[in-house]
Amino acid sequence: MSEPIRVLVTGAAGQIAYSLLFSIAKGDVFGKEQPVVLLLLDITPMLPVLDGVVMELQDCALPLLREIVSTDKEDVAFKDLDVAILVGSMPRRDGMERKDLLKANVAIFKSQGAALEKYAKKTVKVLVVGNPANTNCLIAAKSAPSIPKENFSCLTRLDHNRARSQVAMRCGVPATNVRNVIIWGNHSSTQYPDVHHCVVNMSGSELACFEAVKDDAWLKGDFIATVQQRGAAVIKARKLSSAMSAAKAICDHMRDIWSGSPEGEFISMGVYSSGNSYGVPEDLIYSFPVQIKGKTWKIVDGLAINDFSKSKMDATAVELIEERDTAVTFLGV
């Protein structure tokens, strides 16, 4: 058995964390031989609820779970971290302007970035889940200047999984038979789910997605809209936001960072745009197709981009630039 790794989950009394913590603690993310210390952070009013979560984790009697620390203090939660999964954020309330939402989240992620800078290991891997995830991730990274920018990513794996599943259902195959969908851009309704490089295994042979689906109008219309609006559809149906599927996506994302992405496959995650070959502006956290080896991601280069894709990639970049520029004005506040 190796030394335990220290894994922080923020918003730890919330819905997503409730689905996530068990998977981390039982070895689904970092491996069946990797002990973990869980650090659970939430706001002070949620501490009684968090106590109940801690009791449940204890009652699972999990062999890999060495210690649980629950707290409302950043200096405790961020100490010597190997992994930080930042789930907690300010949700949008009725009547709240996007600008107000950004301002509230800048305060949270500036503070958490500063805590990473001050207390965490410089090798820490940081995944931002709390929305607006791309811009929150950018603010956290800017607030932790001595931690490499490559160590920060935001979650678009849920969108990736949604896109993969929609194609699989349409073709009547398991989701594992669908590879190389791409989510470009923002984790918002402007994201672009792209299947121009996707392949589907049908009866043992690999077909291009457009050939497998045989419905170009659907792939360029309803499919894209369904993936873009899926979060809103879940909220409308459940009266709560995606939690089980978000937790699964977090597990997929962190497992691939830790152990590498599957050979010959690319996955989607929001990463620093600097130096990309697709003309995406610098200094954004933008979702790209990536491959991961040795805990290091690399953007998949050289994919052909047609005019249809380019216009959608540009539109989501415009939204991210606006978000970034608004958020940065709050950084000095």
Catalytic site residues? 187
Contact status, residue 8 vs residue 84, Cβ threshold 8 Å? yes
Q: 131: annotated binding-site residue?
A: yes
The residues, any chain, with a CB within 8 Å of residue 162's CB and separated by 6 or more, are 193, 226, 227, 230, 245
The residues, any chain, with a CB within 8 Å of residue 165's CB and separated by 6 or more, are 175, 178
Q: 130: annotated binding-site residue?
A: yes
Q: 306: annotated binding-site residue?
A: no
199-202, strands of its sheet edge to edge: 178-179, 199-202, 205-208
Q: 59: annotated binding-site residue?
A: no
Structural tokens at position 95: 């009547």
From the list 242, 237, 193, the residue with the least C-alpha distance to 218 is: 193
Contact status, residue 181 vs residue 194, Cβ threshold 8 Å? yes
State the residue for tokens 């589907």: 200
Alpha helix stretches (DSSP H) within 205-332: 209-213, 216-220, 222-238, 244-259, 307-331
Contact status, residue 7 vs residue 40, Cβ threshold 8 Å? no
Q: 105: annotated binding-site residue?
A: yes
The residues, any chain, with a CB within 8 Å of residue 87's CB and separated by 6 or more, are 9, 10, 11, 12, 14, 16, 17, 20, 129, 130, 250
Q: 325: annotated binding-site residue?
A: no
User: Within 13 A of 302's CA, how many CA atoms are on the CB side?
Assistant: 1
Which residues define the annotated binding site for substrate? 92, 98, 131, 162
Summarize the annotated binding site for NAD(+) as residue ranges: 42, 105, 129-131
Binding residues: 42, 92, 98, 105, 129-131, 162
